[in-house]
Chains A and B, each alone.
Chain A
Amino acid sequence: MNDSKLVTINYSLYYGNFQALKDINIKIPENKVTALIGPSGCGKSTFLRSFNRMNDLIPGVRTEGSVLLDGEDLFKMDPVALRQNVGMVFQKPNPFPKSIFDNIAYGPRVTGLKDRHKLEEIVERSLRSAALWDEVKDSLGKSGLELSGGQQQRLCIARALAVEPTVILMDEPAASLDPIATLRIEDLIHKLSENYTIVIVTHNMQQAGRVSDYTAFFYTDETRTGQLVEFDETKTIFTNPSDQRTEDYITGRFG
């Protein structure tokens, strides 16, 4: 196994008095794609948001244990700096109501970059990495909202890449896209994993099988508290899971 990029140690999360995640221990390897799978309500999206502290925005959230990024406790970091290092792509494409150029330049600009030449460079590089450059290079002034759903999601990926993160979190990034747009996103995820650590939440078993190197299976019982059942190479999880619940889930017996 490669070096661990993200590590959680006995990590628990509460919404008020309700425990949403219990004692999660996981080591997410660097520059690999890790899929988080499990039935609805098992806490996998909540767990994903822990890595860029988006849960901080939800009132009443409390955590125990620690989450380490490159060995450092990320709850001791400035969340603004953390989010520059850990980018995120959401379930629903959410380009800003600005031009394609301004969407991508937004991240670099908030860090204080004003130089037009450098911004142009970053925009082109990010769009190329997100496999969108050829489609939009002649219309960078067009509103990001005029793109198709799949293009919008790639725009959002390009926007995340522009701030040069090392980790990209994806929360069901293809859930609202058609099959062809989904395949393009999956190809992209595959390519990006050469340079980025990617953690992706997905409801789609085939997708997890196609794009990920590692898979974490989350499960919950009637307490609604999510826990990590099994974490291993995706091959192993899909062909030879060690836990009965994992096998039941991936073979479609529930969920």
Chain B
Amino acid sequence: MIGERSSEITLAHTAKTRNLKTEHRVQKFWFSLMWLFGLITVLILILVIGYVLVQGGKAVNWELLTTPPKGGLSGEGGISTTIATTFYLVGLTLLIATPLGVSAAVYLIEYAGEQSLSSKFLRTMINIANFAVETLAGIPSIIFGLFGYVLFVSTLKFGFSLLSASLAGACLVLPTIIRTTEEALLAVPDDYRRGSLALGATKWQTLSRIVLPAAMPGIITGIILSVGRVISETAVFYVTLGGSYRLPTSIMDSGRTLALHLYYLAMDTRAFDKAMGTGAVLVVMIFLINLVINLISRKLTAGVRKVR
């Protein structure tokens, strides 16, 4: 049947009679519309970032960057300690969340599947775990803050501290790291796994020498997203980090991140210009961190990138 053309059925328009002019015009219309919307989106982004940079830029100077806040309603002083605290908190949070999240994802993708075949209990647990990861990703961050406050600050008596805040922050970014790592692992072709196993490598060797390096760009993406999340988060740290503007000297000290300081400046003081300045520093910082991590991951995965 295939290949034979029934004589009763004919096309409404042949190549000669079809109205190509209109069709091209329709195509042009839709493409223009999409182009326009794309442009609007980019413009909005540029507007927001541009406004913050221009307005805030006026307040940014060497003094702001290098002196600690003085506290009080006037909002005097700089932001030096809050920059340092931000870095401490990002580092500590990722130190906790990355190994946990990556391991969880590796287990769920590389091991759980085959193990769950033999155990109904395990299969149920894995389904619950996957569901939990998905749900956690959509929960408002203040919930993580409250949870962190109850568990780390008061029950475990870590107080308002870098430790409490980074543990709560880790809870916040874990779903992100798990999901992005899972997706990165799923994107690694099974051909690599089979090729490695067929050469007499163990499953662990296959994972550590082939699969994880190939998944590294995706894992790095998850880490970048998490860095941004921690830098820009206020709710969680409002109730776990305290608000001390002094430089923390141990993980048990309270502190104030840039975003938190910005929040205090905007809500509790008259120093709106300094709030904008802090915002500008925040934006530049996120930009620089993304840039650096991207460069590192490009170096790390020079061989891998050519796959795609």
Contacts and interface: CB of A to CB of B under 8 A. Distances in A.
A25 B295 CA distance: 57
A96 B195 contact: yes
Contacts of B195: 90, 94-96, 156, 159
Interface string B274-308: 00000000000000000000000000000110110
A98 B200 contact: no
B192 A94 contact: yes
Contacts, number: 77
B194 A143 contact: no
Interface stretch (B148-156, B202-210, B244-252, B264-272): B202-210
Contact of B200 (A90, A111, A143): A111
B191 A110 contact: no
Given A92-B191, A94-B192, A99 B200 contact: no
A83 B199 contact: yes
B194 A90 contact: yes
Contacts of B200: 80-84, 107, 110-111, 163
A59 B115 CA distance: 10
B205 A57 contact: no
Contacts of A92: 191
Nearest to B113: A59
Nearest to A89: B198
Interface residues of A, number: 32
A73 B213 CA distance: 36
B117 A107 contact: no
Scoring A60, A83, A99, A156 by chain B CB atoms within 10 A of each residue's CB, the highest score goes to: A83
A106 B214 contact: no
A107 B199 CA distance: 6
A227 to B, nearest CB: 26
A94 B209 contact: no
Interface string A146-168: 10000000001001100100000
B47 interface: no
A43 interface: no
A57 B197 contact: yes
Contacts of B194: 54, 57, 90, 94
B201 interface: yes
Nearest to B301: A97
A80 B191 CA distance: 17
A145 interface: yes
A159 B306 contact: no
Given A52-B198, A83-B197, A84-B200, A59 B192 contact: no
B114 interface: yes
A110 B303 contact: no
B266 to A, nearest CB: 47
Scoring A52, A57, A97 by chain B CB atoms within 10 A of each residue's CB, the highest score goes to: A97
Contact of A97 (B198, B201, B205, B307): B307
A107 B209 CA distance: 11
B125 to A, nearest CB: 18
Given A80-B201, A110-B209, A145 B307 contact: yes
Contacts of B306: 97, 143, 145-146
Contact of A99 (B196, B199, B303): B303
A81 B191 CA distance: 20
B209 A54 contact: no
Given A83-B197, A110-B199, A110-B202, 14 more contacts: A80-B200, A80-B201, A82-B200, A83-B199, A87-B198, A90-B191, A90-B194, A92-B191, A96-B214, A97-B192, A97-B304, A97-B306, A106-B201, A107-B199
Interface of B: 114, 117, 189, 191-192, 194-202, 205, 209-210, 213-214, 303-304, 306-307
27 contacts: A54-B198, A59-B117, A60-B117, A80-B200, A80-B202, A82-B200, A83-B198, A84-B199, A87-B199, A90-B191, A90-B195, A94-B195, A96-B196, A97-B304, A97-B307, A106-B196, A106-B209, A107-B199, A109-B209, A110-B199, A110-B201, A111-B200, A145-B303, A145-B306, A156-B195, A159-B199, A160-B198
Sorted nearest first, the 9 A-B pairs with minimum C-beta distance are A84-B200, A94-B191, A88-B198, A107-B199, A110-B201, A83-B200, A97-B304, A94-B195, A110-B205
